[in-house]
């Protein structure tokens, strides 16, 4: 993948920011900006029906992306 960086806004008052429930399964969404000016919207299933597990998975995904996009 090209070099890219995470572009997110975190709403501290919303504990489920960047998450949505689609028919019982939690998903994450975030945006990546690439060096060539493109914007990539990413949506991916977290594969869980448990909200707290989804929050934990989201935190891990965003932390890894903040360290460097892979």
pLDDT along the chain (70 residues), means of 10: 75 91 98 90 97 97 79
Q: Cα separation of 24 and 33, whole Å? A: 30
Per the structure block, which two tokens stand in for 63?
């932390």
Q: What is the pTM of this model?
A: 0.82
Please count the other Cβ atoms lying within 10 Å of the Cβ belonging to residue 26.
Answer: 22
CB distance 68 to 36 below 8 Å: no
Q: What is the dihedral of CA 63, 68, 13, 58, to 10 degrees?
A: -50
Q: Cα separation of 18 and 55, whole Å? A: 9
Set out the domains of the chain in order of their start, with CATH numbers: 4-67 (3.30.160)
């Amino acid at each position: 993948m090209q070099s890219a960086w995470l572009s997110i806004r975190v709403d501290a008052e919303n504990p489920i920011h960047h998450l949505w429930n689609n028919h019982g399964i939690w998903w994450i969404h975030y945006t990546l900006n690439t060096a060539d000016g493109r914007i990539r919207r990413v949506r991916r299933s977290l594969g869980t029906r448990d909200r707290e597990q989804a929050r934990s998975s989201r935190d891990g995904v965003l932390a890894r992306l903040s360290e460097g996009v892979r």
